[in-house]
Amino acid sequence: MKLINRFWWILVLAFIALYPPTFGGMSPYRCGVLIFVGIYVILAVSLDLLMGFAGQISVGHAAFFAIGAYVSGILTAKYSAPPALAMMTGMALSAAVAWGVGRPVLALKEYYLAMATLALNEIVVTLIVGLQWLTGGASGLRDVPSFSLFGFTFDNQIHYYYLVWAIVLLVVASSLLLTRSPFGRTLIAIHSDETAAKTFGIDCAGYKIRVYVLSAVFASVAGSLFAHYMGFLAPDDFSVMTSINVLVMLYLGGIGTIYGPALGALFLKLLPEITVRLQDYEMLMNGVILILILVFMPKGLFGILTEIRSRLVTRGAR
């Protein structure tokens, strides 16, 4: 079993490393699509930590995506701050907001929690639109410079491709480490039954906050990458629709598995690339495909893959 895992990991790593010169054909467009996929993988995986493991619903994950993007955008475009420093400032602000908001909000359950997180998303978007002198308001924030690190400037699609995917791997690997450790087990206990968890000394409120902060920090990093790659930010990219899209990725790929949401992000971002040829029927096809998957594959795309694998393994064992 472990061997199979390692085999798949090497295959995926090799594909990611070799994509631009091979399938990507060094084409800015094809690499660009995968940059968006990578950014959304970070968002989906970070939300999976909160929802799939700790069991806390969030319909406002784009709030932290926005904070990361705008802190990076404003500090680098208006105040010429070094991008890495701006990114870290975004992470710190996202962590602070998550910590401050989390205490009261994570005490809520289910629909109430969903409404409160949705409200947070709305508040952040409203602030972005309202603080026009700082954020550019509804007309957007222009001229965000390229990301740079130690004097190296990421100024083309290929550079960004490797930057984003390096961070994706970091986020996915640390999320896997966390969820397959006693820490992840503790989150699952909180998700299952908070009352029973408390009777074993689990500080449920404390663990929920910690996961919320971590998940916000990851989303913030995705926002910073987005800001530098796009060079232009508009409030629409961070609306509740974005949060809901990330939620769909979770359920599409298979919530609570880390791999699943990553697959969900890949699928949902690539689907329009395939159905775009259908022109007028594009949206219709997207909708139909989503409904089919959600109805017939309750464990998502990753659930299907593990099912196929376990069948192959049992057949091989005979």
Partner 1 sequence: MSAPPQSTAREEQPMGAAQEALLTVDGVSKSFEGVHALIDVSFQIKAGHIKALIGPNGAGKTTLLNVINGLLLPDEGTVSLRGHELTRMKTEQIAMLGVSRTFQLVRLFTVNDATVLDNVLLGAHKRINPTILGTLFLRSRSGHKERVMREKAMEALSFVGMDWAADRVPTALSFGNQRLVELARSLMAEPELLLLDEPASGLNDAEVEQFLQLLMAVRARGVTILLVEHNMNLVMRLSDDIVVLDFGKRLAEGDPASICANPAVIEAYLGSECAIGGGSG
Contact residues for partner 1, defined by CB under 8 A:
52-53, 55, 174, 177-178, 181-183, 185-186, 188-189, 191-193, 195-204, 210, 214, 256
Residue 30 or 210: which CB sits closer to partner 1? 210
Q: Cβ 178 to partner 1, closest distance in Å?
A: 6
Q: Cβ 12 to partner 1, closest distance in Å?
A: 21
Q: Cβ 4 to partner 1, closest distance in Å?
A: 18
Q: Cβ 55 to partner 1, closest distance in Å?
A: 7
Q: Cβ 306 to partner 1, closest distance in Å?
A: 11
Please state the φ and ψ torsions of residue 107, each to the nearest 5 degrees. Answer: -75, -15
Please calculate the CA angle 196-215-236 and round it to the nearest 5 degrees.
130
Residue 109 or 142: which CB sits closer to partner 1? 109
Residue 77 or 97: which CB sits closer to partner 1? 97
Q: Cβ 117 to partner 1, closest distance in Å?
A: 20
Q: Which of 217, 242, 260, 240 is nearest to 48 (CA)?
A: 260
Residue 66 or 95: which CB sits closer to partner 1? 95
Residue 131 or 177: which CB sits closer to partner 1? 177
Residue 57 or 233: which CB sits closer to partner 1? 57
